[in-house]
Amino acid sequence: MPELASPGRRSVSEPLAEWAVQNIRLEGRPFRFEGHEYLRAIYDDVSPHVVLSKAAQIGGTVWAILRSLHACLSGLNVLYYFPTRTDVIDFSKSRVTPLLNDNPFLSKLMTDTDTAGLKRIGDAHLYLRGMLSSVGLKSVPGDLLVFDELDEAPPAAKAMAKERLAHSDYRRMIELSNPSLPDYGIDEQYEKSDQRHWTIRCPACGQWTAPVKAFPTRLGEEVRIIRARTDGSHYLACPKCGGGTGCRPGGVGT
């Protein structure tokens, strides 16, 4: 079955969300989307180019690293870029190593795990590189590029890194960052995209709301989307009727 076995086909046909739920443990617990419902569609997005303009601590980097490992398991080479070499070392120690420790099925497949910048997974490689180092950008071909903390890196470095995809049939790219300036970096890319955003339906009145668009944009404007319960906790509220949407607002340790 050579067609089924081709890496590109496999990683498109196997949804990442289900794979993560079935296989992954995170911080000692089984991976779940409860409380992070906004992530599910991002996990299962197989678009060739995905842009995530995000807040800190919402699970964006965990998605990007799981997508990278999943691609490596399909035999695809991944180049994961951070702005600096120091960021790479921090990321490797604080994110990748604990993830591997939590998931022996991954660490068993892996060699070179002592090297911060290179993980070999089966027949594929995960390269962790700093964009500000010219050594980091040269020499290795990739099938999937990830640009994490994009806004901290110079735009010219990204253009150079993109050349690494030239010889791939798969050619996928992920960019994620906290936005910094309008029309720069991640915001510029998001504006060029189809601009998906998480939208939920109020179970009480049927109103559709995109929480990110319902936040006040002017000082002094009332926050209608997050409301307090009598016990002091908060909930994501329908701006129309004030009812709970069944989703907890933000706040995860990733």
Q: Which stretch binds Zn ion (CB under 5 A): 9-17, 30-38, 149-157, 195-203?
A: 195-203
The CA-atom distances, in angstroms, between 252 and each of 66, 81, 237 are: 16, 23, 19
Residue 120 burial (CB count, 10 A): 15
CB of 230 vs Zn ion, minimal distance in Å: 19
CA distance 165 to 85: 21
Rg (CA), the chain: 19
Supply the minimum distance, in Å, between the C-beta of residue 199 and Zn ion.
13
Nearer to Zn ion among residue 184 and residue 208 (C-beta) = 208
CB atoms within 10 A of CB 30: 12
Selection from 132, 133, 160, 135 nearest residue 145 by Cα:
160
Q: For Zn ion, which is the closer residue by CB, 62 or 238?
A: 238
Residue closer to Zn ion (CB basis): 133 or 207: 207
Instruction: Choose, by CB under 5 A, the member of 51, 99, 176, 202 that binds Zn ion.
Output: 202
3-state helix, strand, coil in the chain (%, to 5): 35, 20, 45
Question: Is residue 211 a contact partner of residue 246, using CB atoms and an 8 Å limit?
Answer: no
Stretch touching Zn ion by CB under 5 A, among 110-118, 122-130, 159-167, 202-210: 202-210
Binding pattern for the stretch 155-194 against Zn ion, x by CB under 5 A and - elsewhere: ----------------------------------------
What's the closest the beta carbon of residue 241 comes to Zn ion, in angstroms? 3
Query: Interface with Zn ion includes 207 (CB under 5 A)?
Result: yes
Please report, as residue ranges, which positions from 222 to 241 form the binding site for Zn ion (by CB under 5 A): 238, 240-241
Helix, strand or coil, per DSSP, at residue 222: coil
Which is nearer to Zn ion, 30 or 246 (by Cβ)? 246
Residue closer to Zn ion by CB (options 120, 248) is 248
Neighbours of 111 (CB within 10 A): 12
Question: CA-CA distance, 152 to 178, in Å (whole number)?
Answer: 9
Work out how close the CB of 242 gets to Zn ion at its nearest, in angstroms, rounded to a whole number: 7
What is the binding site for Zn ion (CB under 5 A)?
202, 204-205, 207, 238, 240-241, 243
